[in-house]
Chain A
Amino acid sequence: MAVDAATGVGIRARRASWLRYFSFSTDHKVIGVQYMAMSFVFLLLGIVLAMLIRAELAAPGVGVVNARLYNGIVTLHGTVMIFLWLIPALVGLANYIVPLMIGAEDMAFPRLNALSFWLFLVAGLLIVLGFVFGPAEAGWTAYAPLSTLGPAGQSFWIIGLIVNGFSSILGAINFVTTVVTMRAPGLTFWKLPLFVWSILAMTVLIFMGTPVLTAGLFMQLFDRSLGTVFFSPSGGGDPILWQHLFWFYSHPAVYIMVLPGMGALSEVIPVFARKPIFGYKMIAWSSIAISVLGLLVWAHHMFTTGVAPAILFPMMITSMIIAVPTGVKVFSWLATMWGGKLTLQTPLWFCIGFISNFLFAGMTGVMQASIPLDVHFQDTYFLVAHLHYALFGAGVFGAFAGIYYWFPKITGRMYNETFGRIHFVLVFIAFNITYMPMFWLGVNGMPRRVADYVPEFATANLIISISGFVLGFSFLIFLVNFFMSWAWGPKAPDNPWGALSLEWTLPSPPPQHNFAGRKIVVRYPYDFGTPAPGSGHQSSPPDGAGG
């Protein structure tokens, strides 16, 4: 049998190994790759939709698509990017990495894990299929009554999201149980890698928020199919009720999308700075704080709805307070890099890009938290810019930092560093050129989700559209690097980055049963640099500290 020179494995065996990813498996590593692979397929769809949006907005006038189809495109773009790309990609990465980081053989409930993936797949197909039956056109926010009165595709959208909700909630239960009960002996919470902390915080938000959205989705479904009147003003119902139920989940959703990337930063930066993470406990606590506070801010999406000020004012305050734990993380990362021996490779570049973009996201977030300002920014391109800086500029950049960092571990190959840097430079520059002008557009009154605009905005929109196309194409560089490296890249050693968390003690890729039969040496995962005797310098927390 022919043997693959790089891995020494029979060629037929190697081909069969990637076919595994198309089968039903309860192995968290297979499921993780399945999640990530599917999410990238949906990302491609989301990018195509984005390019259609920018094609329409490249010039004034409604030309490329009609206005109603535009609404359908905008809706599907948001829905796909949030529910079918970013969240599943992060869940997939976490699925792969978290059990390895805690020294576990698999997740706590492996079959439930598989069920979560296949439910996500079904949900994705339903949502996309709905486009054919008269697209959902009420935005990813599905405000009533447009959503309760819209075409059949909206029902597909609702059912798809309900199914996706089940997938998420089951997954969250799995993750929390795994992290709490399956850590290797001696691995206390204060020795956990911060990526695990961030996933814990993320999954708390999932299991708290998603059920409320599910309840609201059922109500919308009943309004559409059973003649109930939850959100119908003529029947005595209240459209604002939907907004409450929707945003109770969807605000935490943005932290769900950003927390794992932050966790990835906390892993990558110490490794590429060869320095222990600054403020480990503060970062861990800030993840929990973001999680808890994140559940108490949702009405800041409803400042212009006429809801009682008794609800709005407290949430203005909590929305501003939440900048504190996020700021703690940024300062900690900067302090980690300060004085470190930086290796400027792709994972670290994406971390730097994250921090830069997140600054703009955070600052404009606090601006919008202020009710007097938000009255002007609400539903303008200021918000569109803010949300993309947060979810793309931070969320996706963080995801890429993690993907490039763990690529060798997952695939057993090294990606091409030059292509990685080209990808980063292109995406960072194109991203900022695309979204920065949108702040100006928003301040000057361009509303979101409208297929046309006044001629004064033409130049800015043209620049944005051109840059947006470049942004979309930059993704191809990543894809090419990804597939070519996985197929033909140089074989990766166990620990190419010299990192200290448990997953790097295993071969790349890890064997099927992870740590079975191996010694697990538990240590603080950021112990870079050994203190010289008597130097008074400590790079790890003292014995018995905290807990």
Chain B
Amino acid sequence: MEKLLRQQKYLLVFVALVIITAVEVTVSYLPFTDRTPQTIILVIGSLCKASLVMLYYMHLRDDSRWYALLVGFPLVIGVLLSVTFVL
């Protein structure tokens, strides 16, 4: 019984990933002159998708917090690095 739930969760996550991607692509095509709202939506969308994959497919939700720290810390610093290069 429990294994069925796990497989269902994976499928649900997959569906969510597909939907978010479809939304992202659609949003990117919308003809706005000011690209800021689109950029924000796309950044948030990517963060959601990445989180879904990491939390559920990479089992960060179920495993020790240390793994999350080991990837979370570089992610934060990596984003900081990218932001520094844009300034």
Q: Chain A residue with minimal CB distance to B81? A: A248
Residues on B with C-beta less than 8 A from A244 are 81, 84-85
Within 8 A of A (CB), among B60-87: 66, 73-74, 77, 80-81, 84-85, 87
Residues on B with C-beta less than 8 A from A299 are 84
Residues on B with C-beta less than 8 A from A248 are 81
Question: How would you classify the secondary structure of chain A's contact residues: helix, strand, loop or mixed?
Answer: helix
Within the assembled complex, what's the spacing in Å between the Cα atoms of A299 and B77? Answer: 14
* Chain A: interface residue total (CB-CB under 8 A): 12
Judged by a CB distance under 8 angstroms, whether A1 is at the interface is no
B87 touches A295 (CB 8 A): no
Interface string of A173-193 (1 = CB under 8 A from B): 000000010000000000000
Within the assembled complex, what's the spacing in Å between the Cα atoms of A180 and B73? Answer: 17
Judged by a CB distance under 8 angstroms, whether A241 is at the interface is yes
Question: How would you classify the secondary structure of chain B's contact residues: helix, strand, loop or mixed?
Answer: helix
Question: How many Cβ-Cβ contacts under 8 Å join chain A to chain B?
Answer: 17
The 8 Å CB contact of B66, one of A180, A241, A308, A311, is: A180
Judged by a CB distance under 8 angstroms, whether A212 is at the interface is yes
A208 touches B81 (CB 8 A): no
Judged by a CB distance under 8 angstroms, whether A310 is at the interface is yes
Within the assembled complex, what's the spacing in Å between the Cα atoms of A310 and B66? Answer: 33
Residues on B with C-beta less than 8 A from A311 are 84, 87
Within 8 A of B (CB), among A481-521: none
Within 8 A of A (CB), among B16-68: 66
Shortest CB-to-CB span from A176 to chain B, Å, is: 8
Within the assembled complex, what's the spacing in Å between the Cα atoms of A212 and B87? Answer: 18
The 8 Å CB contact of B87, one of A208, A241, A296, A310, is: A310
Residues on B with C-beta less than 8 A from A180 are 66
Shortest CB-to-CB span from A371 to chain B, Å, is: 16
Q: Chain A residue with minimal CB distance to B73? A: A208
Within the assembled complex, what's the spacing in Å between the Cα atoms of A299 and B87? Answer: 13
B84 touches A208 (CB 8 A): no
Residues on B with C-beta less than 8 A from A212 are 81
Q: Chain A residue with minimal CB distance to B86? A: A308
Residues of A whose CB lies within 8 Å of any CB of B are 180, 208, 212, 241, 244, 248, 295-296, 299, 308, 310-311
Residues of B whose CB lies within 8 Å of any CB of A are 66, 73-74, 77, 80-81, 84-85, 87
Can you name 17 A-B residue pairings with CB atoms under 8 Å?
A180-B66, A208-B73, A208-B74, A208-B77, A212-B81, A241-B85, A244-B81, A244-B84, A244-B85, A248-B81, A295-B77, A296-B80, A299-B84, A308-B87, A310-B87, A311-B84, A311-B87
7 A-B pairs with the lowest CB-CB distances in the bound complex, closest first: A308-B87, A310-B87, A311-B87, A311-B84, A295-B77, A244-B85, A208-B74
